[in-house]
Chains A and B, each alone.
Chain A
Amino acid sequence: MTATVLVPNVVSPVVVGLFLPAVFTGITVGLIGLLAISYQKNDLHALILTDIVGIGMLIIVASVGTDLAESLVLPGLVVELAEIMAISEILMSREIRKQGKSVELFPLPLNLDMEVLTTAPVFFAVILVAYGAFLSGFTGGAIAGGGILFYVISRIARGVPSNTWEGLAGASGIAWCLWLVGFLIFFVAPDYWLLALFLSAFGVFIKVTFKASLVGVMGREEFKKE
């Protein structure tokens, strides 16, 4: 096959051999998802099953495994998330409109009372924040922020002490300054590159973490009502 000619010799043949199985896996996942959607009459289930098709897309793109493919994975993931959020907003606003109520911009009509909402969030948040701190940098910040965001969203129904999040907003700004100082040191005093590296890495880590959790500040408007 001519496509494998392009692969440099340092890549082991096992990894190269994984390409076609991965592509077929992705297409099979997509077909299974489509089959399930065709049987499904419930709109919400169809939406969730559509996400499975999106995961098939990620498998295919990830199977290529070069840096150009990585540049396709990130937008693919973002597009997937953006579309599923937009469609679920449409679904919610349609259902609320069917009942004859007015629709808010950020509809949260949930009043869930499940045990998993009290036990799981702390566990997941701690694991994600610890793993994010281990990774550091932008990726770690995104993961840790996802952990905090998960905690906040699952606690919104129960009410979180709202003034906590304003402090987080301030800390995010200070962390951003650390990041800038780190970059400045890179150019002004390159001898201290290690200090600059750590300032930048952990600055952007804290910054991204708190930025994601700032959604909690927006959510505050919601739990004030309750």
Chain B
Amino acid sequence: MDISILGGPILGIIPLGDIVLYFTPFNLFMFAAALAFTALIAISSTESQVEAEFGTLKNREVKVDKAEFKLRRFLAIVCGLATAGAMVTGDLFDFTLFVTLIGIVNIGIVAAVKEIDVLDAAFQYGLIAMIGTLPLFGGAALVLAATGTISLLQIVQIPYTTSLMAFGSILFFLGVAGETGVAPFFATKAEMFRTPGSPFLLIIHLSSLLVIVRTIEILLIINKPF
């Protein structure tokens, strides 16, 4: 099987030593989407919401103070850049690192909301993300053990699929699901309370979606079902 079946013709490669990036229209589109959304986040400001007070007819405006706003915007931008990097990398190792970076930054974005219930959700998500590192790194290591390389361009040239490769890739998918795939469920807790400045949480949804799509491409490259 060829990479071009999945993502269209290869437009070019960037060889950085033994790390080789490759570009297909599929990767480039997701890369551009992640970057465009990151740029939108970088120039946006948080919404300040208006809450109705209970028992009176007055309204109350809730704002985010400047330090917290800067922190959350920084974390959201890092998350967007890591997502963009994960879209174009041609290396399982780099992809693993980008996914863990997204995971850590997601914990920070959720935990920046200083409410007890949201902190509770952030704590639970952190536990899941830590557990997720076992299948994530373990799967990458098993794929490395079965193929002898972690470069996707090399893996795609191997004509056969051993059971260890299949097992490693399934573990890898579990790891990605634990690290970023479950993030929207925990981020929803912060959104449900309509916490001030919640637009930054949207990057969690976008990164989770894009990373899962890209992971499926990597699984198809490793296992070669066609």
Contacts and interface: CB of A to CB of B under 8 A. Distances in A.
B134 A72 contact: no
A83 B97 contact: no
A105 B114 CA distance: 12
A2 B133 CA distance: 27
Interface residues of A, number: 47
Contacts of A30: 131, 134, 138
A56 B149 CA distance: 22
A83 B127 CA distance: 9
Given A83-B104, A87-B123, A97-B114, A75 B97 contact: yes
B100 interface: yes
A57 interface: yes
B123 A61 contact: no
Given A83-B126, A83-B130, A97-B119, A90 B107 contact: yes
Interface stretch (A62-70, A129-137, A176-184): A62-70
B123 A60 contact: no
B137 interface: yes
Given A90-B126, A97-B114, A64 B145 contact: yes
A1 B137 CA distance: 22
B142 interface: yes
Nearest to A58: B137
A91 B137 contact: no
B150 interface: yes
Nearest to A50: B130
A26 interface: yes
Contacts of A43: 123
Interface in A1-25: 1-3, 6, 19, 23
Nearest to A49: B127
Given A56-B134, A71-B93, A72-B96, A91 B123 contact: yes
B137 A57 contact: yes
A83 B129 contact: yes
B155 to A, nearest CB: 13
A77 to B, nearest CB: 10
B140 interface: yes
Nearest to A97: B116
Classify chain B's interface size. 35 or more
B164 interface: yes
Contacts of B123: 43, 87, 90-91, 94
A54 B136 CA distance: 11
Contact of A86 (B96, B108, B133, B146): B108
B88 to A, nearest CB: 19
Given A68-B150, A83-B104, A90-B111, A50 B142 contact: no
A47 B142 CA distance: 26
Contacts of A217: none
Contacts of B120: 94
Most central of A26, A71, A75 by chain B CB within 10 Å: A75
Interface in B99-152: 100, 103-104, 107-108, 111, 114, 116, 119-120, 122-123, 126-127, 129-131, 133-134, 136-138, 140-142, 144-150
Nearest to A79: B100
Nearest to A20: B164
B193 interface: no
Contacts of A50: 127, 130-131
A41 interface: no
Given A64-B141, A72-B144, A87-B107, A80 B133 contact: yes
Nearest to A66: B144
Given A79-B104, A83-B126, A94 B131 contact: no
Contact of B131 (A34, A86, A90, A98): A34
A226 to B, nearest CB: 26
Given A26-B138, A86-B107, A97-B119, A75 B100 contact: yes
Contact of A3 (B104, B141, B162): B162
Contacts of B137: 57, 60-61, 72, 76
Closest 6 CB pairs of A and B: A87-B126, A60-B138, A94-B119, A57-B134, A61-B141, A6-B148
